[in-house]
């Protein structure tokens, strides 16, 4: 029988080394919550044609998630920090590492100074970095300097995952697919069942620095930001 063994690609070897090092460095803990994305789904549906004619690329859900995360990081600076020896290093800027799936593996280029970007700026940055990653145009410098990472496995139809922290970050947000589900709706008239577009968020965090209560508060902050986002003046 012929052997089908093959050498791992250089990128796959680097990813493997990085992941194993992360697991041996950080005390990984996960918290999970569901987000009602119905308002955002409706907004995208109503505006995707005009957005594409204006910007020449598709309006996706990723910029909304990035924006909600930036808002939460502004409120919880510890989640935007790093651990160096016994010190907590608080980063001045919010640099989001955005995981992009490419043919050879996974690349996590950074969106720098996100706290300075408006929604349209986030849309343009996300589109630019995803395109350049898939076309092999990301410079080595753009693969470093992230302060928090986001990975969207929802694009593959996956509901829930437990991503490994991208060192030296102390947190990573895993984004599941959006699915229509029956949910209980509570109002002054009582409880009822309705169909809503729901998405699962998983926050992986480093328990050396972030406690369970802080991690929970942070991911609920992202959930609240998404569910209450002002969608009138986005672009």
Show which residues are catalytic: 207, 211
Residue found under tokens 């209980």: 184
Instruction: Name beta bridge partners: 200.
Output: 34
Cα–Cα dist 16/205, whole Å: 20
Are the C-beta atoms of 199 and 181 separated by less than 8 Å?
no
Contacts of 85 (CB under 8 A, 6+ apart): none
Cα–Cα dist 98/84, whole Å: 23
Contacts of 31 (CB under 8 A, 6+ apart): 202, 203, 205, 212, 215, 216, 219
Q: What does each C-alpha distance from 31 to 19, 98, 103, 183, 218 come to in angstroms?
A: 20, 20, 30, 21, 10
Quick one: tokens of 207? 């328990």
């Amino acid at each position: 029988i012929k052997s089908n063994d093959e050498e791992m690609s250089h990128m796959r070897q680097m990813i493997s080394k990085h992941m194993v090092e992360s697991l041996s460095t950080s005390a990984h803990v996960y918290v999970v919550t569901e987000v009602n994305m119905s308002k955002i789904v409706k907004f995208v549906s109503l505006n995707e044609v005009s957005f594409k004619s204006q910007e020449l690329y598709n309006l996706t859900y990723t910029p909304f998630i990035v924006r909600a995360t930036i808002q939460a990081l502004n409120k919880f600076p510890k989640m935007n920090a790093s651990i160096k020896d016994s010190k907590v290093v608080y980063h001045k800027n919010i640099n989001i590492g955005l995981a992009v799936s490419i043919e050879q593996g996974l690349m996590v280029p950074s969106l720098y100074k996100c706290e300075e970007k408006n929604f349209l700026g986030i849309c343009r940055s996300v589109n630019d970095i995803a395109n350049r990653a898939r076309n092999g145009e990301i410079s080595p410098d753009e693969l470093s300097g992230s302060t928090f990472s986001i990975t969207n496995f929802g694009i593959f139809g996956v509901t829930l995952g437990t991503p490994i922290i991208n060192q030296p970050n102390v947190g990573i947000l895993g984004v599941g697919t959006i699915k229509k589900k029956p949910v209980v709706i509570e109002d002054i008239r009582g409880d009822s069942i309705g169909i809503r577009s729901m998405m699962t968020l998983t926050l992986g965090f480093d328990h050396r620095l972030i406690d369970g209560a802080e991690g929970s508060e942070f991911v609920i902050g992202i959930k609240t930001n998404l569910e209450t986002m002002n969608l009138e003046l986005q672009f």
